[in-house]
Amino acid sequence: MTLLASFFAAGALQFAFEKATLEGKITICALLVLSLFSWTIIITKIRQLYIARKWGRRFSEAYGATRDPLEIQRKKEDFEGAPAYQLYLRGADELEYHLRENTVVVRGSKRISTASFEAVKVVLEEAASAEAIALEKGMIVLSTAVAGGPFIGLLGTVWGVMETFAGVARANSASLTAMAPGVAGALIATVIGLLVAIPAMFAYNFMVTTIRAITQELDGFAARYANQIEHHYVDNRPLSEEIKVANENLSERILTAFGRHVPPPPPDPQTQI
């Protein structure tokens, strides 16, 4: 523990940074910038995923208590922050449009055709993809920090060691006292690289697992939502029944146009002889 404490002591880090070469200091500055972006993404994504989980559970409970797929929208309930709610709104808006513009009346209730339902399903798929992309936004920064941080630090270390050995060779002095400052200044780049990569690695693994779970729940909700829309609002009558109803409606319109008076057939001339 004493060795670990002395290793991370501010004096040791300060000494190593002061002895680092110009290339090493540039490498360290690049790692600090990458760390700044990495921690910004970590804090932002943790907050985003927390809100998504919290409001996602509330929306799931509210939707599970409904029977009509449009009930939540008609009640003007708000679950802002839940990815499934954003998908729900997109699907509800598209369904309302087709119920208004492409209505199919079945036994006095408004329905939509199969073609309109396909359009609603396309919107649901697009919304699910958009929410998944929004959840994954910024994760490339963490993966870059995990993969690139140690290598950037290693580059600074190798460069610093190379400069140290070149200086020793020029001075014709191979003592430990002459080499130690340069080696310490070179190794700090690797230390900073690992300090950048390790938190990013843990955060990345946690967030990827959480995002994958939310995305799977989103796909499941989209399938469930589409199934309930089909049961409540899609005209799934057999073709024979649709033809029968269409003929009845056509007959009704013809009778209405003629005032429900059908003229008698003309007399047969042969019967009048």
The number of beta carbons lying within 10 Å of the beta carbon of residue 135 is 21
Mean pLDDT of 105-112: 75
User: If you average pLDDT over every residue of the chain, what do you get?
Assistant: 79
Residue 71 corresponds to which tokens in the numbers above?
């009930």
Q: Mind listing the pLDDT tens digit for each residue in 167-211?
A: 666 766 666 565 666 677 777 788 888 989 999 999 999 999 999
Range with top average pLDDT, 34-48, 107-121, 170-184: 34-48
- Going by C-alpha positions, the residue among 220, 225, 233, 215 that lies closest to residue 121 is 225
Give the best-scoring range by mean pLDDT among 16-25, 70-79, 105-114, 256-265. 70-79
Tokens of 223: 């399938």
pTM of the model: 0.73
Given a cut of 50, is residue 8 above it in pLDDT? no
Query: Of the ranges 31-35, 111-115, 188-192, 234-238, which one carries the lowest mean pLDDT score?
Result: 234-238
Token look-up 């140690």 returns 150
Mean pLDDT of 4-9: 46
User: What residue type is assigned to position 202 of the chain?
Assistant: F
Least confident of 2-16, 127-141, 182-196: 2-16
Contact (Cβ atoms closer than 8 angstroms) between residue 159 and residue 30: no
Q: Dihedrals φ, ψ of 112, to 5°?
A: -120, 160
Q: If pLDDT is split at 50, 70 and 90, which confidence band does 47 have?
A: very high
How far is it, in rounded angstroms, from Cα 225 to Cα 70? 10
